[in-house]
Amino acid sequence: MNLHTLSRSWLAGLTAVTLGASALFGTAHAATPPTDEVMTTGLAVTDDTVKVGILHSLTGTMAISETGSIQAEKLAIKQINEQGGILGRQIEYTVEDGASDWPTFAEKARKLLQGDKVATVFGCWTSASRKAVLPVFEQNNGLLYYPTFYEGLEQSKNVFYTGQEATQQILAALNWANEELGAKSFYLVGSDYIWPRTSMKIARTHIEKHLGGRVVGEDYYPLGNTQFGSLINKIKLKRPDLVFAAVVGGSNVAWFKQLKAAGMTADRMPMLTISVTEDEVLGIGKQNVEGFYSSMKYFQSLDIPSNKEFVAAFKKEYGDDAVIGDVTESAYLGPWLWKRAVEKAGSFDVDKVVAASDNMEWKEGMPHGYTKVDPNHHLWMRTRIGQWGSDGQAKVVWESDVIEPNPFPEGY
């Protein structure tokens, strides 16, 4: 009981700060509108519930990364339900396991849309899983909120991308490195798959065309590679001003450990990564990341009231040891974005929700600050540079203006 009241009072605070507008809207609808009014397309909506899907890997190699997203999505849904749900309906969720396997993702997406008739899906993590489910969502006119920062080059009526696309994450960060660190020569390193390669392509063009800098080396290693000795030697020989890295997964751990072992500490070789969040730091170890920079829209340490509340709620739900990375926060946005769009549309129908989403704006309230939904289904937001400290948390050293999402950058 005590717990309950606690979370209620906390939530009242959240509602007041965060979602002032939508909370008002919610109360206006308190007299639950009839089902045939809010849904005309056969979705699983009853008079007091609405069903949604959560589609992530619970097993397999990607389970490591996707756990945080599931937790965030569940937390957001729980909070929305405690506020009275959406259009007077409580959200019920079905969790499906994509098992780190792309066809399984497609299969489970089809099950959620065709079998369970869910009103929306929160899910996917890797680009490959998103590419696999994309045709399913387009064909069945489903709705997907996708949380990961990704390579761009995609835009679909049926998908909202709550993470940053590549240009948002990269361009401002490189400008910063150029101005603040005086970096002129860069070494690009990535795991060998689409996101790092596309990101590095954008980075290279920006460095060469707009910063007047030089790329002295560019290297890709297979996913799961754990030997970076030769690469580190190459970097030592080329002596770039900055290493720009997008190494993922288990490789990331080996990469940082071996950098440290080779004496390449942050003071000798500055490095800016776009693939290290608080989640990754857990695996890499605080002692190995100290001093390096990450470019993200969100860090757990952000000094914004709405973030403090979010962090507190997350820790209360999942324990004090829980950490929140950028993607986890993006996943948390999904249900809130959807709630507001549904309430604005007054309907769960996908077409109406999509139409209502355009240009929705949060001046404050989201854990990462200003947010606006662009008609291209990506979000306007700020990019931040964080420097990792010995406590495993990042200190924000620089913050950009709000950046327009541009998934199909011209000239890159």
Neighbours of 24 (CB within 10 A): 11
| Interface pick for other proteins out of 21, 181, 194, 322 (rule CB under 8 A) | 194
- Residue 326, interface with other proteins (CB under 8 A)? no
Nearest residue (CB) to other proteins, 181 versus 253: 253
CB of 257 to other proteins, least distance (A): 6
Within 128-187, the residues that bind other proteins by CB under 8 A are 128, 131-132, 134-135, 139, 153
Question: And the tokens for 134?
Answer: 């994309």
- Residue 409, interface with other proteins (CB under 8 A)? no
Nearest residue (CB) to other proteins, 343 versus 374: 374
CB of 344 within 8 A of CB of 157?
Answer: no
CB of 334 within 8 A of CB of 77?
Answer: no
**CA distances from residue 349 to 142, 352, 376 in whole angstroms, order as listed:** 9, 5, 19
Nearest residue (CB) to other proteins, 35 versus 376: 376
Within 266-285, the residues that bind other proteins by CB under 8 A are 279, 282-285
Q: Read out DSSP for 194-223?
A: HHHHHHHHHHHHIIIIIS--EEEEEEEE-T
Nearest residue (CB) to other proteins, 219 versus 351: 219
| 276 CA to centre of own chain | 12
CB of 79 to other proteins, least distance (A): 24
- Give the phi and the psi of residue 145 in degrees, each rounded to 5: -105, 115
| Interface pick for other proteins out of 9, 46, 115, 157 (rule CB under 8 A) | 115
| Interface pick for other proteins out of 9, 49, 227, 390 (rule CB under 8 A) | 227
Question: How big is the site for other proteins, counted in residues (CB under 8 A)?
Answer: 71
Q: Is the dihedral of CA 49, 50, 51, 53 positive or negative?
A: negative
Nearest residue (CB) to other proteins, 161 versus 362: 161
- Residue 197, interface with other proteins (CB under 8 A)? yes
**CA distances from residue 208 to 115, 122, 202, 406 in whole angstroms, order as listed:** 50, 38, 10, 20
CB of 189 to other proteins, least distance (A): 9
- Lay out the site mask for other proteins across 378-397 (x = CB under 8 A, - = otherwise): --------------------
Task: Give the single-character DSSP code of 44.
Answer: S
Q: Classify each residue of 332-343 as buried b or exposed e, where b means 16 or more C-beta atoms within 10 Å of its C-beta.
A: bbbbbbbbbbbb
CB of 196 within 8 A of CB of 244?
Answer: no
Nearest residue (CB) to other proteins, 82 versus 192: 192
- Residue 215, interface with other proteins (CB under 8 A)? no
CB of 351 to other proteins, least distance (A): 20
CB of 250 to other proteins, least distance (A): 4
Nearest residue (CB) to other proteins, 87 versus 235: 235
